[in-house]
Amino acid sequence: MTTTQNEPGRESAARPGPLLRVREAVKDYPGTRALDHMDFSLEAGEVHALLGENGAGKSTLIKALAGAIALTSGTVEIDGSKVEVRNPQQAQALGISVVHQHGNLVPELSVTENVLMVEGLGRRIGVLVDWRSAHRRTRALLDRVGLPDLDPHREVSSLGAHEQAMVAVAKALASNARVIILDEPTTSLQPAEVDTLFSQMRRLAEEGIGFVFVTHRLNEVFKVCDRITVMRDGGLVGTWQAAELDHDSLVDQLVGAEKAIAHEAFTATAPPREVVLEARGLRGDVLRGVDLQARAGEVVGIASLPGEGAGEVVESLYGMRRVHGEVLVEGTPRRIRNPQQAVAAGMALVPRDRLAQGLVSDLSIRENATLASTKSYRTDPVLRLMRRGRERSEVAEVMAQLSLKSGGLEKEVRTLSGGNAQKVVIGRWLLRRAKVYLLDSPTAAVDVHTKGEIYGLARSLADNGAAVVFTSTELEEFVRVCDRVLVLHDGAVVGELAGDDITVNSIMRLSFGRKSV
C-alpha cells in the first residue's frame, strides 16, 4: 500500500496536532471487519474528501467518530490529545457534528425541532420551550443552506428528499461544531443545491471548521475539496492534496488499477426495435398530458427539476399515483392502478429510496431477491410450498452475474453496503424477467465502479429486449447511458433529446423551461 502523506497547507496554527486524528481504527462485525487499521486526519479549515467503494468502511469510520458505534480498537485524537467518543453526547461535547448517511431527521417532527434537536429548543419561563426564538434561529439556519422560504413549522415528512437533505445540513450547522462530517449529503440534491451546499462549506471552512465530505460523485470532489483520502476494504489507500490527482488517477486509486474502467459509453450500438412501453396523455396532480414511448433496446431518460414531473412519470407508470391516461405494454392496454397490476404487466421498479421502498432489511438476500417472483418457485397454486433449492441456485446465479459482495445469500440484507443492496433490488427484477424497467435514480449512493456496472446492466437489459426508463439527479448520467431523454418542465414534456444532442447543458436549459435547445 503506497501512502503519500502530505502536510496540510493552510491554517497551521500553534496546535500540538491536527484537529482530528484517527489511528489504527478497527471495527469488527460478526464475520466482517468493517475497519482495518484505518488512519485518518483532518485539519482545521480544510474540506477533506473521504472516498472509497461501497462497503469500504466510510460510514463505519464516521459512525465511530460520531459515537454511534464503538471501535473495536484504535484511538481518536482531538488537537493531539487522546479522547473517548463512546456516545453521541461525547462527540457533540468534542465539537463533532455529523450528517449521517441515513436517518438524520425525525419525519414526524417540525423542521425547527429537527434542526435544533442537538442544540435544544431553548426555554422561557423555566421549563417551557421558547418557540418564537427557536423558529427564528431555525429560519436563520435555513437561510444559510439556501432554503429561506421554508416554513420552519412544517413537518419534515411533508418535505421533498432534497429539502430534507438540506435540513439535515442545517441541523449539522446549528451546533457550534469544529468538525462537520457529511456522509453522502448530495445523493438526492440537484446541481444548484449542491452549489449552495458547497458555498456554505467553503464559507465555514474559512472560519476554521474542518469538513469531512463523503461522496461518490468525483466531480464534486474536485469542486470543493482540499485533500482526498481513499479507503479500500476498511483500510487506508492514501491521502493526497486534491491538486495532485485528476479524475482518472483518482478512479485508479478508488477501485484498484486492475478494475479501473475507461470512460466507456453505454449508449446503444444497434437501432431500437419494437415499442414495448407506451403511455398516452398522463395527467395528474403534476403531470399535464405526458406521452412517452420506450422501445426494446433503448434506454429512455426522463429528466426534470424535482417535483416537475420525472419522478411522477415513474410513479404513475408503476401505479403508485392515480393519474388519467393510457398505458400500453407490448401494444396491449393495461389497467395499472396499483403496483401489483404494474408488476403483472411486466414492469419493474428500482425505487429511489432503497431502504424504505426497495428492501426488507430483516430478511435474507435470497428472500429479498425473490420477493417479486415467489410464484415461479412455488410447487403449485394450492399448497404453494416454496422450492428452496431452486430458489437458492437461481439467486446465486443472478447475484454472481451482478458480482454481489456479501457474506452469503442467507445473510440479512441490512448488513450490505449501499451499492450491494442496490444490486439485490435489481436482481429481484432479473429473476422476474420484467419487460419494462423503471430505474429511479438507480445509482444514488453507488460507488463509481458499481455505477459503471449498473450502466452496463441497464444497457444489457435494453439489448435483451426490455424497455428501460431511467432517471437521475446527476445529469452526466443521462449523457452516458440514455439513447433518448425526455425533459419535463412543470408537468409537461418540453423537449426530447437524442444521441449527441444529449448534453448536461441542453437538459438543464430545457428543464428550466427554455424550449429551444
Partner 1 sequence: MAESPQATGPRRETSTSDKLIDVVSRYGTIASLVACVAIFSLLKPDVFATSQNFFNILNQVSILGIIALGLTVALVQGLFDLSLAGMATLGGYLACKWLAEGTFGSPAVAVLVVLALALVIGAFNGVVVAYGGVSAFIVTLAVGSILTGVVLGVSDSQTILSGIPDGFLIMGQGEIGPIPMPVVFLLIVAVVLYVFLEQTQLGRHMYAIGGNAETARLSGIPVKRYALLALGISAACAALGGMIVAANLGVGRPQGVGDTYLLDSFAAAFIGASTLRPGRFHILGTVIGVLLIGVINNGLSIMGVETFWQYAVRGIILLLAVFAASFLVMRRR
Which residues form the interface with ligand ATP (CB under 6 A)?
Answer: 29, 32, 34, 52, 54-60, 101, 337-341, 415-419, 447
Q: Closest distance between Mg ion and the C-beta of residue 446, in Å? A: 11
Could you say whether residue 411 binds partner 1 (CB under 8 A)?
A: no
The item of Mg ion, ligand ATP, partner 1, none sharing an interface with residue 337, based on CB under 5 to 8 Å by kind, is ligand ATP
Could you say whether residue 158 binds partner 1 (CB under 8 A)?
A: yes
By CB under 8 A, the residues from 417 to 446 that bind partner 1 are 428
Could you say whether residue 128 binds partner 1 (CB under 8 A)?
A: yes
Measured in residues, the chain has a length of 517
The item of ligand ATP, partner 1, Mg ion, none sharing an interface with residue 82, based on CB under 5 to 8 Å by kind, is none
**Number of residues this chain uses to bind Mg ion (CB under 5 A):** 3
Q: Could you count the other beta carbons within 10 Å of the beta carbon of residue 143?
A: 13
CA atoms of 427 and 436, how far apart (whole Å): 14
Q: Which is nearer to partner 1, 286 or 479 (CB)?
A: 286
Helices (H), 57-190: 58-65, 88-93, 111-115, 131-144, 161-174
Q: Work out the angle at residue 51's Cα, subtended by the Cα atoms of residues 48 and 57, and round it to the nearest 5 degrees.
A: 115
Q: Could you count the other beta carbons within 10 Å of the beta carbon of residue 105?
A: 20
**Inter-CA distances, 278 with 35, 291, 343, Å:** 48, 8, 16
- Nearest-10 Cα torsion for 336, 340, 343, 344: -80
- Determine the residue type at 492: A
**Number of residues this chain uses to bind partner 1 (CB under 8 A):** 73
The item of Mg ion, ligand ATP, partner 1, none sharing an interface with residue 419, based on CB under 5 to 8 Å by kind, is ligand ATP
Could you say whether residue 408 binds partner 1 (CB under 8 A)?
A: no
The item of partner 1, ligand ATP, Mg ion, none sharing an interface with residue 57, based on CB under 5 to 8 Å by kind, is ligand ATP
Residues 19 and 181: beta-carbon distance below 8 Å: no
The secondary structure of 76-88 as a DSSP string is EEETTEEE---SH
Q: Closest distance between partner 1 and the C-beta of residue 277, in Å? A: 17
Q: Which is nearer to partner 1, 436 or 479 (CB)?
A: 436
- Nearest-10 Cα torsion for 361, 363, 364, 366: -110
Residues 373 and 432: beta-carbon distance below 8 Å: yes
Could you say whether residue 496 binds partner 1 (CB under 8 A)?
A: no
Residues 85 and 67: beta-carbon distance below 8 Å: yes
Residue in 349, 399, 430, 475 binding partner 1, rule: CB under 8 A: 349
Question: Quick one: which segment of 153-161, 218-226, 244-252, 482-490 binds partner 1 (CB under 8 A)?
Answer: 153-161
By CB under 8 A, the residues from 294 to 323 that bind partner 1 are 307, 311, 315, 318, 320-321
Residue in 36, 77, 151, 353 binding partner 1, rule: CB under 8 A: 353
**Inter-CA distances, 317 with 7, 280, 294, 471, Å:** 54, 11, 12, 13
Could you say whether residue 359 binds partner 1 (CB under 8 A)?
A: yes
Could you say whether residue 383 binds partner 1 (CB under 8 A)?
A: yes
Phi then psi for residue 397, to 5 deg, are -60, -50
- Write the burial class of residue 167 (CB in 10 Å: 0-12 exposed, 13-18 middle, 19+ buried): buried
CA atoms of 429 and 413, how far apart (whole Å): 16
Q: Which three cell numbers mark 163?
A: 429539502
Q: Closest distance between ligand ATP and the C-beta of residue 422, in Å? A: 9
Give the SS3 label for residue 154.
Answer: coil
The item of partner 1, Mg ion, ligand ATP, none sharing an interface with residue 203, based on CB under 5 to 8 Å by kind, is none
Could you say whether residue 420 binds Mg ion (CB under 5 A)?
A: no
Question: Quick one: which segment of 77-85, 331-339, 352-360, 491-499 binds Mg ion (CB under 5 A)?
Answer: 331-339
Could you say whether residue 293 binds partner 1 (CB under 8 A)?
A: no
Question: Quick one: which segment of 120-128, 192-200, 217-225, 241-249 binds partner 1 (CB under 8 A)?
Answer: 120-128
CA-atom Rg of the chain in angstroms: 24
Could you say whether residue 160 binds partner 1 (CB under 8 A)?
A: yes
Residue in 41, 59, 60, 104 binding partner 1, rule: CB under 8 A: 104
Q: Which is nearer to partner 1, 371 or 508 (CB)?
A: 371
The item of partner 1, ligand ATP, Mg ion, none sharing an interface with residue 416, based on CB under 5 to 8 Å by kind, is ligand ATP
Element (H, E) at 12: none
Question: Quick one: which segment of 83-91, 188-196, 271-279, 465-473 binds partner 1 (CB under 8 A)?
Answer: 83-91
| Bridge partners, 35 (sequence order) | 27
By CB under 5 A, the residues from 54 to 83 that bind Mg ion are 59
Q: Which is nearer to ligand ATP, 185 or 491 (CB)?
A: 185
What is the contact surface with Mg ion in residues (CB under 5 A)? 59, 101, 338
